[in-house]
Structure 1
Amino acid sequence: MGCDPVYEGNHSFTRAELDEIFTHATGKTLGEVDSAHVFSKTLTNPKITGIAGDVVEQSLLRYPPDSKQAPDLNVDGTPTELKVTGLKRTKKKGDTFHAKEPMSITAVQPDKISSQTFETSPFWHKVSQMLIVYYLYDSATTVQAADYADFVILGYQFHRFDEDELRDLRKDWQLVHDFLTDINENSENPEAEYPRLSSELRSKLNMIDTAPKYPHPPRFRLKRSVVDTMYQKYLGTEFTILPNDVNDLESLDKLCDHLTARYSGKTTLELMEEFGIPLNSTGKLPKNVHEQITTAMLGSPKSKLNSLELFARTGLIAKTIPLLANGLPKEDTKFYHIDFSDFTQESIDDTDTDETIISRAYTFSDSELYAYLHEQSFFFTLFQFTDPKQRKEDGTSVFRGFRRITIPDEDIEKYGEKLWNHTRTLIMTDSLEDVPTGTRKKTSGDSTAPNFMKSSQNPLFIRGSAANSDDSAKTEEVNGIRMIPQYFWMKKQYIQQLISSSSPR
């Protein structure tokens, strides 16, 4: 199929030319490759936006920035979109990275999308082939534009989505198209209805979202989890593909409905026997026995849910939730390790409707916490104790099914934004304190903890987690206060509420 001249690409290169340019640039800092002296602009404008992309365009590729909806490049006759993407260090051991933010693609254009097909859409022409340049945003705090000069270019890739990914992208785009077309054709005031877009579709979208929230013009973005998966595949990470065409959220839901109907009520020991899961070397239940049962049910040969490509790509957060006999989760649930730079960032690069890069204030809807709650869904495997006095797994707990849960928008705004604003205020106004919490259980002395929001104040909260709370475990520091690693948690009563209000899978 020939390319529409509108989308043929603005600047022509051969693949060999680009390979030579970016192979030579890999391992160097943005400052070292800045032959066009782009960073000189930061002397008079320290908060200039899009500096990393400007360096790649103007110093490495030697063309001025433009704001056309066409892909940036024409590579051997193929339109190719250039994306310069920041990665940050994870809190995990080793040199591992994750996407700094979702990848913004192009404007949604709610008033124009009805006349488009997927193949003719600006979105498809932007993502059909991309040249992605990765750099390391090597700072735990927000930096000014000049500091980007120290950030290293990690590598590059020419990226095309595989067949499963392409099918999901097409399905996601079509959902947005049909939703907006229905509004355009049936609403007396379509613009008043457009803000429904993000909240009403997000539980159905596999790989994209639409952001930011109104009144800002919405844009198609690849979810942060998608960018993470793209980078991991670039590094050579091999993910496990589920069998039987279980390759999107809809097919996963159908499989889980079937598995729940088949296995609900069976005990842990019965399911271990069913799937050939042995006791450990000491004759006890494996520590991750419920995760092993879950992956075996799904048909995976691997015992880790995070090795499943579908979970990684769609951002499914998998947790086993042990329930007491009365239905209350046994304990509060820990999720991710907090990156406190998320609470101190003041501005963010964005793109206006005409594709011009602008700077605007950083808000809760831009934050890592918002993305975690809004972009992703939670996959809970439920096992329940039958004895009211039971608190420890002995193989007799029974399988109660699965829940795939999307946090309601109103909860994100009510509880998530409350937590983010409270934490941001503590840090930005220097109100963070280390307060006594009692006597240490495992070591001598008094225990202390930062005055972050607690479970008694909000169902979403921050709490430390470590083997002990003595000084040697306090490996993090915020505003001069040393603390044990801090995590995002959900209160057990809130987890129960989510389970009760969701459909069994």
Structure 2
Amino acid sequence: MDDVWLGYDPRDVDSIVEYAGQLRGKTLREVTNIGEIADPHRRRGAFGSALEEHYFKIDPNSRPTADFDGVGLELKATPLKVNKSGELVAKERLVLSMINFMTVVDESFETSHLMKKASNILLVSYLYEPGKSPLNYVIEAVVRWGFPEDDLPQIRRDWECIVNKVRDGHAEDISGGDTLYLEACTKAKDSTVRTRQPFSDVQAKPRAWALKASYMTAVQRKIIDGLVRIPRAEDEKDLDVLALIRKRFAPFVGMTETALATHFGVSGSKDRCARITRKILKVEGDSDIEEFAKAGIVPKTIRLRKSGRPKEAMSFPAFDYFDLMERSFDESDFNGYLCQKYLFVLYREDDLGEYRLSDVCFWQMPEDDFDDARACYEQMRDNVRIGRADISVRSSENRCCHVRPHARNSEDTRPQPFGPPVVKKCFWLNQGYLQSEIERVLRS
């Protein structure tokens, strides 16, 4: 499908996941233009179909390739329900793909069709509520997911149990009771449908690979409750979040990025400073930090020159030119980014050109500055309306913000409504503005 109307880059997995993340806490009615679904309660998969067609703009299909074929990412929607104890549990199994009895016998587990389908999933979990339209189901979680490594031995064993029955000519005897995590569930219009198997003349019920509801309940609990807290000593229990963070960072102030990376055993990479931050906070793994999630805090590393001026302007994700033209500033992603609270982890340049950890602070754009941000947004919006998305907003034209490219190269473009494709761009906070805001916050 032409990606003119997409809010994400289908060739960039991070762009897809970021776009999908905007679904959390919302309904399809809130994020799409669809009014109703025909006979929603008579159609299994009505929510998933609407999600594909109207949010991600994916044509309905049953092809064996991934939904986001350019990056090998599979989209799966799975319902949750509230049980009698008031807990969120999986409403049903998660169906992954049909089993082809004629070819599965020649596969190995590691290279199987199942593993290709299940190794890279965008999992969208929503709360099913009887009597409600699927358009009004609240989306509880959105994660990129694959089989956890610790579960692979059992999943492999389940796969082999099922496939060996097919190899023995007994696909008709497959039962859900044979396995623990993975199952071969029946998948047909009705119970009378049968299909061929390779080593027997007896026809068997069509089946699909699926993860059992009990397994999915465990997965969902880990996803939804998978936040990790910053550990606290006895004398830290009464500290507010910033005080706790300052206490964590204090012993390391003055150390260079290189020294910190060596101290914590963090290898060199684009996200090195982000991983150092988690190490300083004593947060293990990649789970979201509970304190940050509750407060909507986004950590951001800022490198300051000796003068205090940031080495770089602060960028936001690249915008879509169609989306920019159609949405007001108040409804825009840019406004949403500016409303967030940021934890600035500050590294300052020394006399030798090394960057040393110097301080931490919380920052959120003051209300008085939103008029400048709005003016930048509207100026760029006007450029798009006249077919001149190639013209940006310079930092000299706005006190707070500007627009410039944010792309891999000059060929990394996006379409615009009234002109030829233009290189990807995003909004940036000006270096001078950032410097004054950081100084203001540190003074206070």
TM-score normalised to structure 2 length = 0.50
- Aligned-residue CA RMSD (Å): 4.1
- Equivalent of 2:420, from 465, 481, 487? 481
Q: Which residue of 2 aligns with 1:276?
A: 264
Deviation readout 1:407-426 (Å, 9 max, x if unpaired): 101111x2221122222323
In structure 2, the CA distance between the partners of 1:295 and 1:93, relative to structure 1 (3 Å rule), is: same
Maintained 8 Å contact 2:401/2:427: yes
- Equivalent of 1:453, from 377, 393, 405? 393
Q: Distance in 2 between matches of 1:371 and 1:329?
A: 23
Q: Please state how far the C-alpha of 1:481 moved relative to its aligned partner.
A: 2.5
Q: Distance in 2 between matches of 1:296 and 1:228?
A: 31
Q: Please state how far the C-alpha of 1:477 moved relative to its aligned partner.
A: 3.7
Structure 2 SS opposite 1:254: helix
Q: Distance in 2 between matches of 1:379 and 1:474?
A: 31
Structure 1 SS opposite 2:317: strand
1:462 counterpart letter in structure 2: V
Q: Distance in 2 between matches of 1:308 and 1:268?
A: 22
Q: Distance in 2 between matches of 1:263 and 1:328?
A: 22
Deviation readout 1:78-106 (Å, 9 max, x if unpaired): xxxxxxxxx965774275313259759xx
Q: Please state how far the C-alpha of 1:318 moved relative to its aligned partner.
A: 2.2
Q: What pairs up with 1:59-70 in 2 under 5 angstroms?
A: none
Q: Please state how far the C-alpha of 1:476 moved relative to its aligned partner.
A: 4.1
Deviation readout 1:271-322 (Å, 9 max, x if unpaired): 334x4325x4xxxx444332222110111123x6x84354455432222111
Q: Please state how far the C-alpha of 1:382 moved relative to its aligned partner.
A: 0.7
Structure 2 SS opposite 1:337: coil
1:420 pairs with 2:377: yes
Structure 2 SS opposite 1:502: helix
Structure 2 SS opposite 1:461: strand
1:402 pairs with 2:360: yes
Q: Which residue of 2 aligns with 1:230?
A: 141
Q: Which residue of 2 aligns with 1:333?
A: 314
In structure 2, the CA distance between the partners of 1:88 and 1:159, relative to structure 1 (3 Å rule), is: farther
Q: Distance in 1 between matches of 2:231 and 2:306?
A: 35
Q: Please state how far the C-alpha of 1:372 moved relative to its aligned partner.
A: 1.8
Q: Which residue of 2 aligns with 1:255?
A: 244
1:242 pairs with 2:183: no
In structure 2, the CA distance between the partners of 1:342 and 1:504, relative to structure 1 (3 Å rule), is: farther
Q: Which residue of 1 aligns with 2:330?
A: 365
2:242 counterpart letter in structure 1: D
TM-score normalised to structure 1 length = 0.45
Deviation readout 1:442-479 (Å, 9 max, x if unpaired): xxxxxxxx11312221221222122322xx32244443
Deviation readout 1:215-260 (Å, 9 max, x if unpaired): xxxxxxxxxxxx88734495974745033269x9x84312122134
Maintained 8 Å contact 1:88/1:138: no
Q: Distance in 1 between matches of 2:246 and 2:221?
A: 35
- Equivalent of 1:264, from 247, 253, 256? 253
Q: Distance in 2 between matches of 1:453 and 1:463?
A: 7
Deviation readout 1:151-209 (Å, 9 max, x if unpaired): x994543369xx9xxxxxxxxxxxxxxxxxxxxxxxxxxxxxxxxxxxxxxxxxxxxxx
Q: Which residue of 2 aligns with 1:294?
A: 277
Q: Which runs of 5+ in 1 are unaligned?
A: 1-86, 105-132, 143-151, 164-226, 347-362, 391-395, 435-449
In structure 2, the CA distance between the partners of 1:500 and 1:240, relative to structure 1 (3 Å rule), is: same
Q: Which runs of 5+ in 2 are unaligned?
A: 1-5, 28-46, 58-74, 87-137, 144-218
Which has the larger Rg?
Answer: 2
Q: Which residue of 2 aligns with 1:433?
A: 388
Q: Distance in 1 between matches of 2:288 and 2:276?
A: 15
- Equivalent of 1:491, from 422, 425, 430? 430
Q: Which residue of 2 aligns with 1:385?
A: 349
2:241 counterpart letter in structure 1: L
In structure 2, the CA distance between the partners of 1:370 and 1:228, relative to structure 1 (3 Å rule), is: farther
Question: Percent identity at matched positions?
Answer: 19
Maintained 8 Å contact 1:328/1:493: yes
In structure 2, the CA distance between the partners of 1:410 and 1:263, relative to structure 1 (3 Å rule), is: same
2:412 counterpart letter in structure 1: A
In structure 2, the CA distance between the partners of 1:277 and 1:309, relative to structure 1 (3 Å rule), is: same
Q: Which residue of 2 aligns with 1:318?
A: 299
Q: What pairs up with 1:70-219 in 2 under 5 angstroms?
A: 92-93=12-13, 96=17, 97-99=20-22, 103=26, 135-136=50-51, 154-158=77-81
1:457 counterpart letter in structure 2: E
Deviation readout 1:59-91 (Å, 9 max, x if unpaired): xxxxxxxxxxxxxxxxxxxxxxxxxxxx96577
